[in-house]
C-alpha cells in the first residue's frame, strides 16, 4: 500500500471551502485556556466542514502564533466570532434556531452513542474549560447534554479529542447515513 502524496489529496482551496456545504454545527468554546487546543479545534472543524466556531470569554482569538501552530491555516477557512461571555453567544445561537448542546458529564446526560441528531436541524456544541468544564450558568441554558462513554480510570478526554469524537459522530449520523 502506498501513501497518497499531498497533490493527490484533492484538497479544496479556502474559497472553495467557504462555498461548500457545511455541517450544521457551531462549536462554542467556553473559556478554553490553551491556544494549542483552540488551534486544534479550528483544524478539526475544518476537517469536518463545520459552519463556525464561537470563541467565548478567555478563549484566545486568531491571529496568534500559538493558535496557528496547531490550526495550520484553518483560522482562514473556518468562520469564527468572539463573544465576551458564553451565555450571550448561546442566547444568540438559540435565536438563530440552533439546538444548544453541552458536551459534559452531567446528571441525565445522554450518551453520545444514544443521541440521534435530527436532519435539517442546526446544533451548537459547547465544549468547556479544560479544568472546570462547561460553566454552570451556561449549563442552565442548554437544551440537552451529551456525554462520551468512557471506560478507564481518568473519565476525561482532552477537549480536542472530545471535539473530534463528537464531530465524527455527528458527521457520520448526519452525512454518512443518508
What's the pLDDT at 177? Answer: 80
pTM of the model: 0.97
80: left (phi over 0), alpha (psi -120 to 50) or beta: beta
The per-residue pLDDT for range 117-145, each reduced to its tens digit, is 999 999 999 999 999 999 999 999 999 99
CB 65: neighbour CB atoms within 10 A?
8
Q: How is domain 20-176 classified at the CATH fold level?
A: Alpha/beta knot (3.40.1280)
Nearest 5°: CA angle at 22, between 111 and 13?
130
Domain assignments of the chain as residue spans, ordered by start: 20-176
Res 79: pLDDT? 98
Which residues of the chain, if any, have pLDDT below 70? 178
Amino acid at each position: 500500500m502506498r501513501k497518497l502524496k499531498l497533490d493527490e489529496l484533492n484538497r479544496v482551496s479556502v474559497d472553495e471551502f467557504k462555498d461548500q456545504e457545511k455541517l450544521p454545527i457551531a462549536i462554542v468554546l467556553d473559556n478554553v485556556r490553551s491556544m494549542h487546543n483552540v488551534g486544534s479545534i479550528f483544524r478539526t472543524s475544518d476537517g469536518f466542514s463545520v459552519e463556525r466556531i464561537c470563541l467565548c470569554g478567555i478563549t484566545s482569538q486568531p491571529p496568534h502564533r500559538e493558535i496557528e501552530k496547531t490550526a495550520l491555516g484553518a483560522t482562514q477557512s473556518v468562520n469564527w466570532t468572539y463573544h465576551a461571555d458564553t451565555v450571550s453567544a448561546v442566547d444568540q445561537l438559540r435565536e438563530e434556531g440552533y439546538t444548544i448542546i453541552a458536551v459534559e458529564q452531567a446528571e441525565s446526560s445522554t450518551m453520545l452513542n444514544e443521541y440521534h441528531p435530527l436532519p435539517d436541524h442546526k446544533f451548537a456544541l459547547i465544549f468547556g474549560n479544560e479544568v472546570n468544564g462547561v460553566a454552570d450558568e451556561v449549563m442552565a441554558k442548554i437544551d440537552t447534554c451529551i456525554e462520551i462513554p468512557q471506560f478507564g480510570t481518568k473519565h476525561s478526554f482532552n477537549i480536542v479529542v472530545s471535539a473530534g469524537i463528537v464531530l465524527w459522530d455527528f458527521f457520520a449520523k448526519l452525512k454518512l447515513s443518508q
